[in-house]
Structure 1
Amino acid sequence: MPLLVAGSAQALEFKLADNEITGSLDSTLSYGAMWRVQGRDKDNITDINADDGNRNFDTGLVSQVFKLTSDLSAKYQNYGLFMRGTAYYDTQIMDKRNDYYDTTNGVERPSQSFPQDDHFTDDTRHIAGRKAELLDAYLSGSWDIAEHPLTGRVGRQVLNWGEGVFYRGGINTINPVDAARFHLPGSELKEVLVPVEALSFNLGLTDDLSMETFYQWKWKETRLDSVGTYFSDTDLFSDGGNTAYTTEDNPLIKELLAGYPTVASLGLLGNGPHGPNAYLNPNTGTFKVANVGKDIDARDDGQFGVAFRYIAEELNSTEFGFYFVNYHAKEPQIAVDLRNYQGVDVDGLNALLGPLGLGEAVPGLSTLDMASNAEARRDYVEDIRMYGFSFNTTLGDASVSGEIAYRPNMPISISATDDILGDLLTQGVLGQTNLFDANVPAGQACAPVAGKQLCRGELFENYERAETYNISLSTIYNFGPHLSFDSMTGVAELASEHIRGSSLKYTAWDGSERRFVGAQDKAYVGGNDDDVQIDRDSYGYTLLLTGSWNDVYAGVKLSPYVVYQEDFSGNSDRTGNFIEGRKAYTLGIDASYLNTFEVGTQYTSYYGAGSSNSMRDRDNVSVTAKYSF
Structure 2
Amino acid sequence: MLVSRPLTAAPLMLASLCLAMGASDEAFALRIDSGNPDLSMRLDTTVRYNQGWRVDGRDKQLANNPNFDEGNYTFDKGDVFLSRLDLFSEFDLNWQDKYGLRVSGAAWYDHDFPDKTESAPGLAPVANYRNNEYSGLVKRYYAGPSAEFRDYFVWGNFNIGNTELNAKVGSFAWLPGEFLFSNASSMSYAMAPNDGLLSDLSPGASAKETSLPIGQFATTWQFIPELSLMFQYTYEFERSRVSEGGTYYAVADGALRGPDFLAPGVARRDAKEGDNGDIAVGLRWSPDWAMDSSFGLWYRKFDDKNASWANQVIVQSPTAPYSRAVYAKDIELYGLTWNGVYKSVSIGAEVNYRTNMPLNTTGQTFIAIGRPEPGNLDGARGDTVHALLSGAFTINKNAFFDNGSIAAQLDYMHLVKVTDNKAFYNGSNSEGGSVAGRCEDKELLRGCSTRNAASLGVSFTPVWQQVMPSVDVSFPVFATYGLYGNPAAQNAGIPPEDSYLLKFGPRVEYFVGSMKHQFDLAYTARHGRTGQINGNNAYSGLGYLHDRDTLILTYQTAF
Map of 2:471 onto structure 1: 556
CA distance in 2, matches of 1:628, 1:607: 34
Q: Secondary structure at the match of 1:501?
A: strand
Conservation of the 8 A alpha-carbon contact between 2:380 and 2:422: no
Q: Mapping of 1:464-503 within 5 angstroms?
A: 464-502=380-418
Map of 2:152 onto structure 1: 137
CA distance in 1, matches of 2:43, 2:467: 30
CA distance in 1, matches of 2:470, 2:507: 14
1:586 to 503, 513, 526: 503
The percent identity for this pair of structures is: 22
Q: CA deviation at 1:397?
A: 1.9
Q: CA deviation at 1:515?
A: 7.7
User: TM-score when scaled to structure 2?
Assistant: 0.84
1:35-75 alpha-carbon deviations (Å, 9 max, x no partner): 11001111222442344212222122111101211111111
Map of 1:68 onto structure 2: 87
1:111 to 123, 127, 151: 127
CA distance in 2, matches of 1:152, 1:503: 38
CA distance in 1, matches of 2:34, 2:104: 20
Letter in 1 for 2:268: V
Map of 1:407 onto structure 2: 354
Conservation of the 8 A alpha-carbon contact between 2:381 and 2:420: no
2:492 corresponds to 1:576? yes
2:520 corresponds to 1:600? yes
Q: Mapping of 1:165-184 within 5 angstroms?
A: 165-169=180-184, 170-173=186-189, 174-184=191-201
Over 3 Å counting, the alpha-carbon distance change for 1:199 and 1:506 in structure 2 is closer
Map of 2:202 onto structure 1: 185
Over 3 Å counting, the alpha-carbon distance change for 1:75 and 1:405 in structure 2 is same
Over 3 Å counting, the alpha-carbon distance change for 1:211 and 1:460 in structure 2 is closer
Unaligned runs of 5+ in 1: 1-6, 246-286, 342-369, 425-434, 443-455, 518-522
CA distance in 1, matches of 2:165, 2:107: 34
Letter in 2 for 1:179: G
Conservation of the 8 A alpha-carbon contact between 2:220 and 2:228: yes
2:481 corresponds to 1:566? yes
CA distance in 1, matches of 2:62, 2:28: 47
1:105-164 alpha-carbon deviations (Å, 9 max, x no partner): x5544222232x2x3222211122223011111111112211212111111111121112
CA distance in 1, matches of 2:46, 2:111: 19
Letter in 1 for 2:107: A
Map of 1:226 onto structure 2: 244
Map of 1:520 onto structure 2: none
Q: CA deviation at 1:598?
A: 1.2
Over 3 Å counting, the alpha-carbon distance change for 1:51 and 1:390 in structure 2 is farther
Conservation of the 8 A alpha-carbon contact between 1:155 and 1:198: yes
Q: Mapping of 1:366-445 within 5 angstroms?
A: 370=318, 372-415=319-362, 417=364, 420=365, 442=371
Q: Secondary structure at the match of 1:502?
A: strand
Over 3 Å counting, the alpha-carbon distance change for 1:485 and 1:43 in structure 2 is same
Conservation of the 8 A alpha-carbon contact between 2:117 and 2:246: no
Q: Mapping of 1:89-104 within 5 angstroms?
A: 89-93=109-113, 96-97=114-115, 100-101=118-119, 103-104=120-121
2:104 corresponds to 1:84? yes
CA distance in 2, matches of 1:310, 1:503: 34
Moved more, 608-617 or 47-56: 47-56
Conservation of the 8 A alpha-carbon contact between 1:386 and 1:406: yes
Unaligned runs of 5+ in 2: 1-24, 531-538
Map of 1:337 onto structure 2: 314
CA distance in 1, matches of 2:34, 2:181: 41
- Normalized per residue, the structure richer in helix is 1
Q: Secondary structure at the match of 2:301?
A: strand
Over aligned residues, Cα RMSD in angstroms?
A: 2.7
2:293 corresponds to 1:315? no
Conservation of the 8 A alpha-carbon contact between 2:382 and 2:419: no
Q: Secondary structure at the match of 1:485?
A: coil
CA distance in 2, matches of 1:619, 1:233: 14
Conservation of the 8 A alpha-carbon contact between 2:49 and 2:85: yes
Over 3 Å counting, the alpha-carbon distance change for 1:148 and 1:515 in structure 2 is closer
Q: CA deviation at 1:596?
A: 2.1
Over 3 Å counting, the alpha-carbon distance change for 1:457 and 1:604 in structure 2 is closer
Moved more, 325-334 or 40-49: 40-49
Letter in 2 for 1:478: T
Over 3 Å counting, the alpha-carbon distance change for 1:304 and 1:483 in structure 2 is farther
Conservation of the 8 A alpha-carbon contact between 1:601 and 1:622: yes
CA distance in 2, matches of 1:310, 1:460: 41
Conservation of the 8 A alpha-carbon contact between 2:66 and 2:123: no
2:73 corresponds to 1:58? no
1:202 to 207, 211, 220: 220
Q: CA deviation at 1:491?
A: 0.7
1:621 to 543, 551, 554: 551
Letter in 2 for 1:627: T
Q: Secondary structure at the match of 1:481?
A: coil
Q: Secondary structure at the match of 1:614?
A: helix
Q: CA deviation at 1:216?
A: 0.9
Conservation of the 8 A alpha-carbon contact between 2:298 and 2:336: yes
CA distance in 1, matches of 2:373, 2:152: 43
Conservation of the 8 A alpha-carbon contact between 1:504 and 1:515: no
1:272-298 alpha-carbon deviations (Å, 9 max, x no partner): xxxxxxxxxxxxxxx53x222221121
Over 3 Å counting, the alpha-carbon distance change for 1:218 and 1:506 in structure 2 is closer
CA distance in 2, matches of 1:241, 1:184: 18
Map of 2:450 onto structure 1: 535
Q: CA deviation at 1:482?
A: 2.8
CA distance in 1, matches of 2:94, 2:280: 28
Conservation of the 8 A alpha-carbon contact between 2:339 and 2:349: yes
Map of 2:18 onto structure 1: none
Conservation of the 8 A alpha-carbon contact between 1:470 and 1:497: yes
CA distance in 2, matches of 1:394, 1:161: 18
Letter in 2 for 1:466: G
Conservation of the 8 A alpha-carbon contact between 1:112 and 1:240: no
Conservation of the 8 A alpha-carbon contact between 1:203 and 1:210: yes
Q: Secondary structure at the match of 2:87?
A: strand
Conservation of the 8 A alpha-carbon contact between 1:515 and 1:530: no
Map of 1:428 onto structure 2: none
Letter in 1 for 2:377: E
2:278 corresponds to 1:303? yes
Q: Secondary structure at the match of 2:270?
A: coil
Larger Rg: 1
Over 3 Å counting, the alpha-carbon distance change for 1:516 and 1:65 in structure 2 is farther
2:123 corresponds to 1:146? no
CA distance in 2, matches of 1:166, 1:530: 24
Over 3 Å counting, the alpha-carbon distance change for 1:144 and 1:108 in structure 2 is closer
Q: CA deviation at 1:487?
A: 1.4
